[in-house]
Amino acid sequence: MIIVQLNRQIFEYDVHSLVKSFYPGEDVKIVYETSPEEADAQLVCRLEFLKTVSNFKSEDTLPEQACEKEQVPTSHIRFQIRKNGKTESEETAVCTQPDDRKELKNEVKRLVYRQLSSYTRQKLPWGNLTGIRPTKIPMAMLGQGYRNVEIADYMRKTYYTSNEKTSLAIAIANRERHLLKDINYQNGYSLYVGIPFCPSICLYCSFSSSPIGIWKNQVDAYLDALCKEIDYASDAFAEKELNTVYIGGGTPTTLEPDQLERLLSKLEERFDYSQLLEFTVEAGRPDSITREKLAVLRAHGISRISINPQTMNQKTLDLIGRRHTVEQTKDAFHLAREMGFDNINMDLIVGLPGEEKADVEHTLQEVISLDPDSITVHSLAVKRASRLKMFHDEYKEMTFTNNREIMDMAAEYAARAGQSPYYLYRQKNMAGNFENVGYSKEGKAGIYNILIMEEVQSILALGAGASTKMVWASDRIERIENVKDIRNYIDRIDEMIERKRSGIHE
User: What is the contact surface with ligand SF4 in residues (CB under 6 A)?
Assistant: 198, 201-202, 205, 207, 209, 249-251, 284-285
Name the residue nearer to ligand SF4 (CB basis): 209 or 374.
Answer: 209
Asked if 352 and 310 count as a contact pair (C-beta separation under 8 A), the reply is yes
- DSSP conformation letters of 116-156: HHHHHT---TTTT--SS-TTHHHHHHHHTT--HHHHHHHHH
Q: Cβ closer to ligand SF4: 305 or 470?
A: 305
Q: Which of 271, 338, 322 is nearest to 300 (CA)?
A: 271
Beta carbon nearer to ligand SF4, 98 or 284: 284
Angstrom CA distances, 488 to 232, 482, 494, stand at 18, 10, 11
Q: Rounded CA gap, 278 and 444, in Å? A: 10
Of the pair 7, 209, the CB lying nearest ligand SF4 is at: 209
Q: Compare residues 251 and 457 and give the one whose CB is closer to ligand SF4.
A: 251
3-state secondary structure of 266: helix
Closer of 320 and 453 to ligand SF4 (Cβ): 320
Cβ of residue 86: shortest distance to ligand SF4, in angstroms? 46
The answer for residues whose C-beta is within 8 angstroms of residue 152's C-beta and 6 or more apart is 166, 167, 170
| Residue 102 CA: distances (Å) to CA of 10, 108, 427 | 12, 10, 22
H or E segment to which residue 22 belongs: helix 12-22
Read off φ and ψ for residue 479, nearest 5 degrees.
Answer: -110, 145
Closest approach, Cβ 48 to ligand SF4, in A, equals 43
Nearer to ligand SF4, 166 or 253 (CB): 253
Question: Can the peptide bond before residue 250 be classed as cis, meaning omega within 30 degrees of 0?
Answer: yes
From residue 49, how far is each of 82, 94, 252, 354 by CA, in Å?
17, 10, 51, 44
Q: Which lies closer to ligand SF4 via its Cβ, residue 125 or residue 248?
A: 248
Nearest distance from residue 358's CB to ligand SF4, in Å?
24
Of 371, 402, 373, 398, the residue nearest 387 (C-alpha): 398
What is the bridge-based pairing of β-strands 188-195 and 197-198?
unpaired
C-beta atoms surrounding 32 within 10 Å: 13
Contacts for 505 with CB less than 8 Å, ≥ 6 apart:
none
Closer CB to ligand SF4, residue 161 or residue 209? 209
- CB of residue 373 to ligand SF4, shortest distance in Å: 20
Measured from the CB atom, is 128 or 200 closer to ligand SF4?
A: 200
Coil, helix or strand at residue 432: helix
- Minimal distance in Å, beta carbon 284 to ligand SF4? 5
Which residue number, 20 or 285, has a Cβ lying nearer to ligand SF4?
285
What's the burial of 424, exposed, middle or buried (CB within 10 Å: 0-12/13-18/19+)? buried
CB of 84 to ligand SF4, least distance (A): 43
SS3 sequence, 147-203? CHHHHHHHHHHHHCCCHHHHHHHHHHHHHHHHHCCCCCCCCEEEEEEEECEECCCCC
The least distance separating ligand SF4 from the CB of residue 65, rounded to whole angstroms, comes to 48
Least separation, in Å, of the C-beta of 287 and ligand SF4?
Answer: 10
Q: How far is the CB of 197 from ligand SF4 (least distance, A)?
A: 8
Q: Are 51 and 70 in contact (CB under 8 A)?
A: yes
Smallest gap from residue 251 Cβ to ligand SF4 (A) = 5
From the CB of 341, what's the least distance to ligand SF4, in Å? 19
